[in-house]
Structure 1
Amino acid sequence: MESFTFEAIGTLFEIGTDRPLGDAVEWTLLREAERFDWVWSRFRPDSLVAQMRAGTGRWDLPAESAALSELYARLYRVTKGAVNPWIGSSLERIGYGPGYELVPSGAPEPAPLWDADHVWEGTAVVLKYPAVLDIGAAGKGLLVDRFGAILADAGHDEFVIDGSGDILHAGAEPLRAALEHPYNADEAIGVIDVQGRSLCASAGNRRAWGDGFHHLLDARTGAPVRAVVAAWALADDAMTADALATALFVARGPDLVAEFAGPDGAPEWLQVFSDGHAEGSPAFLEGLFT
């Protein structure tokens, strides 16, 4: 299998295909990564999101914003406010800001309320006051999907896109993926087959610092989640899988995935808790090592 590896949105992407991509497709992928980063990154000072940090009023976002705002509205409702795209200010307060200070500036604070303080509907955002929009719960998955669309448009029907653990697969042969141990990246706690779908993971050990701080917060408190230490979701698209893997830190699995059920059933899911036990759907539980 041919491989194309590059960095984008602060992480590593590897794209495997059954034949070479060619310069034109590679350039299209890199150009899309740069465009996406300029719009959505809260870590670069020239991004659209960074400009919102210092402004108020109406802001117009690109077309993919419509799917994101709809997804976040559903997550906000299902998790009773625990998943909230206005979590950016809470993340920066505990040290996960543009300068990667990794030192809290104060006690955790809740995120602004959805629609009460700011409105995000379709491709338009209206800010009452400067705010920090953060799409980390689903953004990387969305970019993986956009890469997949570029490959499909170029005639590639067999590929694997791996965005540092967010995987999108297309093709006749399933991919067997390992589930990384939440406390030891060199070990796995199980395996699962991925075919024509997306597998995404979230874990508190990936971006952790200081005295128990990490990037997976409950937006209602602004504090890191302690009970769940790792979560996975398997869905038809990477944006949904990425969002569910994050939401599983603050929501019960069965209740959450039921809201995202389609004609072929609900997404598959797995939660691993700090006391060592796991809960999930059969597709994941059957692949856990004993």
Structure 2
Amino acid sequence: MNAFDLSRLQPRLPSPLEPVEDERFARRGLTLLLKREDLIHPDLPGNKWRKLSLNLREAAGRPVLTFGGAYSNHLRATAAAGRLLGFPTVGVVRGDELAGRPLNPSLARCTADGMRLEFVDRATYRAKNDPATRAWLLERAPAGAYVVPEGGSNALAVHGCVELGRELAGLADVAAVACGTGGTLAGLAAGFEGRTLGVPVLKGGFLGGEVRALQEAAFGGPRGDWALDERFHGGGYARVSPALDAFAQDFEARHGLAIERLYVAKMLYGLTTLAEEGAFPAGTRLAAVVTGAPETV
């Protein structure tokens, strides 16, 4: 299969936009819509397809080196792309203490898809963009490796996510998306005509600067009407509180849709809380971007 010809993977685009009946929104005169990015492709769902597609075309079949934590959806999607399109992949994983342990389901899937894992200590991982560290990592990778940043977020990824915003234009007034590295939000906001709400899943308050930098790299300056609500990270990445899990279980029971906990549940919880706080005027159409499905092995 030609690595350029991503259409042969038969992505489902545009992704479906599904209205759902939820009295927590309806009683305030709000319409809730689910933008089912999780249905784009079974192995490269949601924002992973959007962020990787242009990067893979740029890589043009060369080996791909990228970065992520022990539960990185991005690593899994990159490994799957390598298997489907026939190019080598290397995943630099945060935490050298993981090297001697049994692989968790996410990392086991990566290796099953042919990804070579390089476990590095946290100081090295933090310095991954330092030229000397990057050169050291590339020396250990296959020759000619193309580097995709953590979470897949770079200017190409941002441009890939612009189409998501365009697909929602005229169909929603507010679009909400969970944010890890900010690339999806940066592109979505640029393509969307309404207001875009980002719900960070990591704590630290750094994401606004990251989104601005990504838009600067992609477009030369800010684009779109976007904002962040930092209240719903639940303690940090990969942390799922009992309250969040209970919310997700209730949403699943109401709507018959399995909810991914690390990103999607936090976004839906934040959007529901904001609706109950009266943050949106009656008549607002709210599009919740479902960026992925629960992990299955």
Q: Comparing both structures, which one devotes a greater share of its residues to helix? A: 2
What is the TM-score normalised by the length of structure 2? 0.30
RCO greater where, 1 or 2, for CA within 8 Å and sep 6 or more?
2
The structure with the greater share of residues assigned to strand is 1
With the length of structure 1 as denominator, give the TM-score of the two structures: 0.30
